[in-house]
């Protein structure tokens, strides 16, 4: 019997390299508010977390400015930003392999579900997922823990039989809040030591190690 028959995957930095579209959409939103062009280190911090967190905590926008920035970001992202993206080498093969081994898979991303589905469709991931879950453009499921709980509900999965795979501390925090085991996958946007500081249940350097572990 599999220890974790249900596997949840983050998207940005776990299955895809999405930073070009995210960076440019962030720049577009900040410029619309008269803010200076941010340096890449701060832009990198915004790949993965919810937009409200990025604009408020990383860029220090006011409560009034944040919804404007989110709207402007999505204005560009919905048009071209989501296309400025590419699959991480090995992601497609890993999903295909796990599906073939009988695992039930879900996408659990803080990205709005409408864009997550477009990206998943574009890269051929969607057929491998039994559930595809993202946040709502209406502000629903604002936290990673909210997304994970909804993904579990759609899968009909129990917390103790599920594993969340992600590349950032928000993935670890969300999994912990839901009582789900967390596997850090060091292929994405985590800063040095970021995943280790979260004391993940497992830490893998690539898809090969993840597949070997899951068997």
Contact 7, 162 (CB under 8 A): yes
Whole-number Å distance between alpha carbons of 69 and 9: 27
Residue 46's SS3 state is: coil
DSSP state of 157: -
Residue 96's SS3 state is: helix
| Contacts of residue 1, Cβ cutoff 8 Å, sequence gap at least 6 | none
Which residues are known to be catalytic?
10
Residue 191's SS3 state is: coil
What ranges make up the beta strands (E) of 6-83?
6-9, 16-17
């Amino acid at each position: 019997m599999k220890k974790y028959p249900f596997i949840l995957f983050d998207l940005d930095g776990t299955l895809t390299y999405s930073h070009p579209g995210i960076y440019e959409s962030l720049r577009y939103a900040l410029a619309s508010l008269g803010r200076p062009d941010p340096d890449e280190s701060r832009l990198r911090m915004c790949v993965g977390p919810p937009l409200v967190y990025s604009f408020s905590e990383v860029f220090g926008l006011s409560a009034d400015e944040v919804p404007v920035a989110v709207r402007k970001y999505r204005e560009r992202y919905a048009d071209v930003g989501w296309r400025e993206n590419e699959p991480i080498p090995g992601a497609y093969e890993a999903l295909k392999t796990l599906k073939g081994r009988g695992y039930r898979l879900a996408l659990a991303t803080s990205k709005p579900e409408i864009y997550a589905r477009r990206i998943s469709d574009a890269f051929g991931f969607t057929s491998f997922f039994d559930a595809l879950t993202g946040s709502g453009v209406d502000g629903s499921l604002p936290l990673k823990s909210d997304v994970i709980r909804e993904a579990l509900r759609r899968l009909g999965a129990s917390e103790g039989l599920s594993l969340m795979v992600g590349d950032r501390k928000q993935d670890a925090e969300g999994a912990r809040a839901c009582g789900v085991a967390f596997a850090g996958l060091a292929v994405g946007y985590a800063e040095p030591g970021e995943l280790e500081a979260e004391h993940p249940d497992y830490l893998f350097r690539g898809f090969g190690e993840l597949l070997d572990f899951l068997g």
